[in-house]
Structure formats: structure tokens, C-alpha cells
Homo-oligomer: A and B are copies of this chain.
Amino acid sequence: MDEAQVVVGYKTYLELIEPLLTGQDVVASGMKAEVKRCGLAIDRARAGARVALVSSGDAGIYGMAGLVLEICAARGLQVAPPGDERSVDFYFQVIPGVPALAAGAALLGAPLMHDFACISLSDLLTPWETIARRLELAAQGDFVIVLYNPKSKKRHWQLEAVRDLLLRIRSPQTPVGIVRRAMRAGEATVIASLQDLLDYPVDMQTVIFVGNSQTFAYGDYMITPRGYLAKYRVGEEMPMEAGRRSSDA
């Protein structure tokens, strides 16, 4: 952040990183101004400034990285990573972070030890039919399912539809982890079951983890087994040399 001359972002996120700012030119914009915000960051970069565009969690997962590149492609702007020797309009780099799915999973214990599908429930840019079809296929494949953007102030019916759709394929007792504001003020974590999914507060800053058929709750944790213990038949006693008997990973 110290290297940036201009910092652009959604105002809520800029407030979160305020302690990191060291006198940069800060450009805050409101929600739903994504295209404008990215265009502005691009314009400042083209004009020669070192610009940091701030996105939440990880800019590369449902974040602003793609929109910047999409706008570059639409405008025919040439971009390349810093250090590249070609002549470009500006240098561009995505700095990965801890995505909400990783922060939420950490708070829940270990829901993502096996294959998972990550699905946004926002139907602003994606038809609901596409979202519903993906949910159904993910459930059929016994993926752990991570739900981004489960609900907003104006969008409230989807989560019930998701529950009903998943209940046709998964057990009502399937563990469901609900994580609000992971690693931020107001953090709250609940492990519920699929049938009780609607009993807990959920908003745009919530990520929901629906277990696969093997996921179980243990104390305050949600665990999706990878299969080590079943394979090595580990129970009360630990086979200390189990690893050496295994074949290749």
C-alpha cells in the first residue's frame, strides 16, 4: 500500500484499511458503482499514477480484478505485469488475499477438505435459472457448496429456494456453516443444519457452507473428511506408520 499514490475503492472497504493509508490520494465510491470505479482507476493509471484498487477479501474471486481487465479488453488497452519489457498502457498486477471462503472455512474448522463448488446467489448479473441449475448439479455431485451473496436488502427469496432445492437431494441434517463478517467487527459463526438454514440472520457479508454427504459437526466445528482415517482405519489408536503404507498422493 505504501507504494501506491492513489487508492480507489468502495467506501466501506476503504474504512477497513484506513490504518494502512499513509497520505495517498483516496477516491471512495459507493456500492453498485463498480464500472465507474474501475474506469477511474484505469484512467489514473494511464495518466501515470501508481494506483491501488481495493476489493474485499480477494480481488480475484468475484472481485474487481476481472472488471478492470474486461474494461481494458473493451478499450483495447495493453497491460502486462510489472517488470515486463513490452510497451504497455500501464502495468497491472492482482495481489491475492484471503478470500471469504478461506476466512469462513477457518472459522468453521474444516468444511473445505474435499471438492467444493462456489456459487453466488446474486441474480443481478446472472439469471436465476443458471444459478439454480448450478446448485442442482453441485448437489448431485456431492460437492461441498459455498454460497456467496446469499441475501441483500432487496433480494430475500433466494435462500429459501436454495434450501428447498438442496433438500430434494441432500439430507435435512446436512451441516451448514453460516459465517457473517469473517475476521471483522461483528463476526458471527453458526453451525446449523440444512433444514434450519432460514432460522439465522444472513446478509451480503455472509458466506454459507453447505456440507457434502460426509460432512459432520463435532463440537463447534464442521468437518468434511478427506478420507485419510477411513483409508487407514484410524480410530482410538493411531497407526504411527500409516503414512508409509500409503501409495502415491
Nearest residue (CB) in B for A155 is B248
Which residues of A from 105 to 136 have beta carbons under 8 Å from B?
105-107, 109-120, 122, 124-126, 130-131, 133-134
**B30 A243 Cβ-Cβ under 8 A:** yes
A sample of 15 more A-B contacts (CB under 8 A), given A36-B238, A58-B106, is A32-B244, A60-B111, A61-B112, A65-B106, A65-B110, A67-B228, A70-B223, A74-B234, A75-B236, A79-B219, A80-B219, A97-B98, A115-B134, A117-B117, A154-B247
29 CB-based A-B contacts, threshold 8 Å: A35-B229, A35-B232, A35-B242, A36-B240, A37-B243, A58-B105, A60-B110, A61-B102, A61-B105, A62-B114, A66-B109, A66-B113, A70-B225, A70-B226, A72-B218, A73-B218, A74-B235, A81-B220, A97-B98, A98-B98, A99-B99, A116-B118, A117-B141, A118-B118, A125-B227, A125-B228, A126-B227, A137-B140, A152-B248
What is the minimal beta-carbon distance from A10 to any residue of chain B, in angstroms?
Answer: 10
Which of B35, B81, B204, B244 sits near A243, CB closer than 8 Å?
A: B35
Nearest residue (CB) in B for A221 is B69
Q: Mark A134-168, 1 if CB is under 8 A from B, else 0.
A: 10011011110000010011110000000000000
Q: Mark A33-53, 1 if CB is under 8 A from B, else 0.
A: 111110100000000000000
How far is it, in angstroms, between the C-alpha of A94 and the C-alpha of B126 when the chains are bound?
Answer: 33
Q: Tell me which residues across on chain B come within 8 A of A204, comparing CB atoms.
A: 249
Known pairs A65-B106, A138-B137; A249 contacts B149 (CB<8 A): yes
Tally of contact residues, A, Cβ under 8 A: 103
A186 within 8 A of B: no
Q: Tell me which residues across on chain B come within 8 A of A149, comparing CB atoms.
A: 249
A1 within 8 A of B: no
Nearest residue (CB) in B for A247 is B124
Known pairs A124-B246, A124-B247; A105 contacts B60 (CB<8 A): yes
Identical chains bound together, number: 2
How far is it, in angstroms, between the C-alpha of A93 and the C-alpha of B158 when the chains are bound?
Answer: 32
What is the minimal beta-carbon distance from A107 to any residue of chain B, in angstroms?
Answer: 8
How far is it, in angstroms, between the C-alpha of A103 and the C-alpha of B134 when the chains are bound?
Answer: 25
Q: Tell me which residues across on chain B come within 8 A of A174, comparing CB atoms.
A: none
How far is it, in angstroms, between the C-alpha of A39 and the C-alpha of B94 when the chains are bound?
Answer: 38
Q: Tell me which residues across on chain B come within 8 A of A107, comparing CB atoms.
A: 94
How far is it, in angstroms, between the C-alpha of A61 and the C-alpha of B118 when the chains are bound?
Answer: 13
